[in-house]
Amino acid sequence: MKTTFTYPLPVEDYVAGISSTRLGTYTYEGPEQIVFHINRDGEIVDIDPEYNIHEPEIYRKIVDPKNNLDHIPVAYYYQDRFKPAGHDIDYILEDEIQSNGDVYKKVTNPKIAHNYSLVWDFDKSNGVGVASGNWHFEQKIKDLTNIHKQRAEQRAGNIGIWTGNPFLTSTVKDGLNAYIAELDTFAANNPPLKEWKFVNTPMVGTMPTLNSDLKVALESLENGPTLEEGI
């Protein structure tokens, strides 16, 4: 069978929130009925298996796009299984200029699999975007990150464990605490962002460095740290 359908997309790829106006248009071309073998987590482990599925009343799911409109996007999700060459999409890319001038190539016509994972939800009677049944399209979301913030916080943690060492002078301890405070300020000024859109993550300010005398004091301790380059 062959049919065209639309499916709601996120307001922005990889960011939580489904749009009420952004729709993807897709064409399903494949079998009128498909059998999915799922595991206890609801993940699809095989399609139209030739073996007998253990506990079929639980783990054998029939997808019926011909008679159930809600099953069309479910069947389409793995259409490449039936139509390898025909499932290819000519992606339309849009340049999105970032704050530092980097260019993110935004896909304006993503596959459903680009934004969603498909699972059978044993707990819910309705999945996201599915009017009936237990198929669930779970949105793929990326965490906001910032390598500069992470590096500063890691360095602050690595130095912080030495500030209470009894063999360090109060002057050295004060210097280490001042360095940690600088790292904390730097980290706060470089909050998490959509780092996947950048080639080079922008940096606000300059990463603090540890005074050479303080480095020597730490590395001279018995069983003291070997500090990374650039700290």
The pLDDT value recorded for residue 126 is: 47
- Write down the H helix ranges in the chain: 56-59, 72-77, 112-115, 147-160, 170-188, 212-219
Domain boundaries, the chain: 2-139, 147-219
Per-residue model confidence as pLDDT tens digits over 115-164: 999 999 887 644 454 444 588 999 999 999 999 999 999 999 999 999 99
Provide the token pair at 123: 């707990």
Buried b (16+ CB within 10 A) or exposed e, 180-201: bebbeebbeebeebbbebbeeb
* Contact present, 139 and 116 (Cβ < 8 Å): yes
Give the percent of the chain with pLDDT over 90: 80
Statement: residue 99 has pLDDT above 90: yes
Instruction: Give the whole-angstrom CA distance, residue 87 versus residue 75.
Output: 12
The pLDDT value recorded for residue 85 is: 60
Q: Chain-wide mean pLDDT for the chain?
A: 91
Provide the token pair at 147: 């390598």
Over residues 187-198, mean pLDDT:
98
Q: Does the global pTM surpass 0.85?
A: no
Per-residue model confidence as pLDDT tens digits over 5-50: 999 999 999 999 999 999 999 999 989 999 999 999 999 999 999 9
The pLDDT value recorded for residue 200 is: 97
Statement: residue 88 has pLDDT above 70: no
